[in-house]
Amino acid sequence: ELLLLQKEVFTEMYNRYEDHETTPVNQSMDRFIKRFDAGDYYKILFKDRLAGSVFIYEKAPGIMKLHIINIKSEYQNNGIGQTVMKRLEMMYPHIIKWELETILEEKRNCHVYEKMGYIRHGIEKKINEKI
């Protein structure tokens, strides 16, 4: 169910950017299952319904990586992503640095993270001519 949710959430971006290499849409079940041993995976519920999921892992002592967050389109624009991030930060008080990646062309995603206090930093990687 969670892998299908991930594929559903990222299909629109996959179609827009034609990213065949890094898209979560093409992830295999075997690779997906390996996440459960590599970090913490949470379902996101909204009014008792599965609205999304999030996977994080500790990259190094004190450094947490937000690897992927999925929120179904019908649940977006309800502040769920921000609430999830705030709760994760509270659940892991020993973490001093959070890292995440997003697509620069997805202005809404960038805006939400920056609004929450995250600072754009790091390496920009060109995936293809669209992204």
Structure confidence at residue 123 as a pLDDT band (50, 70, 90):
confident
Mean pLDDT score, 26-39: 94
1-15 per-position pLDDT tens digit: 999 999 999 999 999
Instruction: With CA atoms as reference, report the closest residue to 127 among 19, 1, 14.
Output: 19
Q: What's this model's pTM, rounded to 2 decimal places?
A: 0.90
68-79 per-position pLDDT tens digit: 999 999 999 999
**Which residues pair with residue 97 across a beta bridge?**
63
Q: Is pLDDT above 90 for 45?
A: yes
Say what the pLDDT of residue 25 is: 96
Say what the pLDDT of residue 122 is: 80
